[in-house]
Amino acid sequence: MPTLLDERPGTTPDRRPDDRDVVVRVVTESAPSRRRSARALLHGLVAVLVLVILAGLAGAGFLVARAVSGVDVNLFGTTSVDRSAPVVLRELRNVAEFTAATGEFQSTVDVEKDVAVLPAVLAGERTIYVGVGTVDARVDFSALARDAVAVGPDRTVRITLPAPTLSTPAIDPARSYVAARDRGIVDRVAGVFRDSPTSERELALVAQRRLARAARDSDLAARAERNTAAMLEGLLGRLGYERVEVSFAAPIR
């Protein structure tokens, strides 16, 4: 039951002007107002109880479904939806090449870009990229000349083949990686406005060129010649030829 105090200036003749009368007013809450407050409190408690019951039922239903299905489902897991377009066949080519040898190479590319007037902590970039790829050595049987195969009377066959060619290095993205990358503050800020500030395409192209040079300097082509000669000797030997001679044209530099 609230109580209100009110001060009024004194108006009787025997009091000073600054005297105050204290008036006490008692305000009582009506019965309907008390009933509305109790009803609102009851509704709130019922709403909370209903939410608790619904949450419990949902959890129990999830546990039952997982037990029945035997599948461990993560209630808060994410779902991936693949909306990729179907694969389009662009070209079919006939291949008459024999892959005689394959070499696997690795190149560590260390590229640094400096800005002459600014220190490296402000501008510039250094990236260390490890590129792993393969190079095939192939012999093209479709380019044989008419006199490339000569059969002798003593069950001897002589075959002249074109020199093995090396394919373009195929970088393996699953095994290639950026070992280290250090960029200045300016380059980091500018990278926010670029589509792909840390693209590895340029580094992969550098690694590809280095792998091609390494393949040319290796004995990959010589191994391809030996493997091709062994393949033809075994194949023609089963056809009855007692002597098989295989030679290769000079490679084109």
Divide the 253 residues of the chain into consecutive groups of 10 and give the mean pLDDT of each group.
49 54 53 67 78 77 65 65 87 84 94 68 77 95 85 88 94 92 66 59 92 95 94 90 88 66
pLDDT at 106: 96
In a domain, 138, yes or no: yes
pLDDT at 191: 56
Side-chain half-sphere CA neighbours of 41 within 13 A: 6
Same domain, 111 and 207: yes
Domain housing 32: 3-69
Query: Bridge-partner residues for 183, per DSSP?
Result: 125
Same domain, 125 and 205: yes
Cα distance between residue 161 and residue 142, in whole Å: 10
Helices (H) and strands (E) counted in the chain, each on its own, are 4, 10
Same domain, 37 and 105: no
In a domain, 132, yes or no: yes
pLDDT at 9: 53
In a domain, 106, yes or no: yes
DSSP, residue by residue, 56-78: HHHHHHHHHHHHHH-----TT--
Same domain, 138 and 241: yes
Same domain, 48 and 115: no
pTM of the model: 0.60
The residue whose two tokens read 């008036």 is 23
pLDDT at 125: 79
Same domain, 236 and 196: yes
In a domain, 189, yes or no: yes
pLDDT at 146: 83
Same domain, 29 and 103: no
- Point out the domain boundary residue: 53, 69, 85: 69
Same domain, 31 and 119: no
Same domain, 44 and 167: no
In a domain, 14, yes or no: yes
Task: Give the helix ranges, DSSP H, for the chain.
Answer: 31-69, 185-191, 201-217, 220-238
Same domain, 114 and 221: yes
**Total number of domains in the chain:** 2
In a domain, 92, yes or no: no
Same domain, 60 and 102: no
In sequence order, what E strands does 11-168 have? 20-26, 97-113, 125-140, 149-151, 156-161, 165-166
pLDDT at 135: 97
In a domain, 206, yes or no: yes
In a domain, 56, yes or no: yes
Same domain, 121 and 215: yes
Tokens of 175: 């095994």
